């Protein structure tokens, strides 16, 4: 089998390129890293691999929004409350909200949309965990640990499992994007 005919090889080459670009831009070009990483994480699947946005999960928008907002309310509101003992402190800027939205769209398009479009999936624990969710979450955790030069960043593996589960249940990339975006905003501004 030629390397170009190998979907897993193609994804892994793209994965390592994204990690290297993200690590470089975060270290040396932090003010533009979100934009550059967005171009790579969305551009690789759409331009290089010629996947449509529909193939990447951009469909079922309303269902995705309902799942994303519902699970975010069920998981993130209690998380915030536990961190702050019901003491609300908001200091959100439009720039920060846009930054976290770019990150969520880019990472979910790549780690959920592109990964799921590339590999066949099977249930490991019916209704809870699939092969693609487990593997994409491991790769998501490893990427964060490497990009941030901090092994403790592998902890994003756990919310990644929620994002994969949301993608599978809703059939839409919108659900994990909303959860990812709101989780990043709450985590950053709650100081948890």
CB–CB of 133/159 below 8 Å? no
d(CA 139, CA 184): 18
d(CA 148, CA 27): 9
pLDDT confidence of 5, banded at 50, 70, 90? low
Q: What are φ and ψ of residue 124, in 5° steps?
A: -95, -45
Give residue-wise pLDDT tens across range 138-181. Answer: 999 999 999 999 999 999 999 999 999 999 999 999 999 999 99
Residue 181: name the closest of 76, 90, 89, 59 by CA.
Answer: 76
Give residue-wise pLDDT tens across range 71-122. Answer: 999 999 888 777 765 555 566 788 889 999 999 999 999 999 999 999 999 9
Tokens of 103: 């990150």
Tokens of 25: 């831009």
Tokens of 30: 């932090």
- The pTM of the full predicted model, rounded to 2 decimals, is 0.92
pLDDT of residue 1: 38
């Amino acid at each position: 089998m030629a390397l170009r005919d190998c979907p897993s090889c193609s994804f892994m080459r793209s994965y390592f390129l994204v990690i290297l670009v993200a690590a470089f831009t975060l270290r040396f070009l932090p003010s533009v890293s979100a934009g550059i990483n967005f171009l790579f994480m969305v551009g690789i699947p759409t331009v290089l691999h010629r996947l449509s946005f529909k193939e990447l999960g951009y469909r079922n928008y309303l269902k995705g929004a309902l799942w994303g907002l519902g699970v975010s309310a069920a998981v993130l509101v209690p998380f915030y409350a536990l961190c702050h003992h019901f003491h609300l402190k908001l200091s959100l800027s439009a720039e920060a909200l846009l930054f976290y939205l770019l990150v969520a769209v880019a990472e979910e398009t790549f780690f959920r949309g592109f990964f799921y479009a590339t590999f066949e999936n099977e249930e490991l624990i019916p209704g809870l965990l699939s092969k693609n969710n487990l593997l994409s979450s491991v790769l998501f955790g490893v990427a964060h640990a490497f990009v941030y030069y901090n092994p403790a960043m592998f902890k994003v593996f756990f919310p990644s499992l929620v994002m994969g589960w949301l993608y599978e249940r809703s059939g839409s990339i919108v659900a994990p994007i909303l959860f990812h975006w709101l989780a990043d905003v709450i985590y950053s501004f709650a100081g948890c």
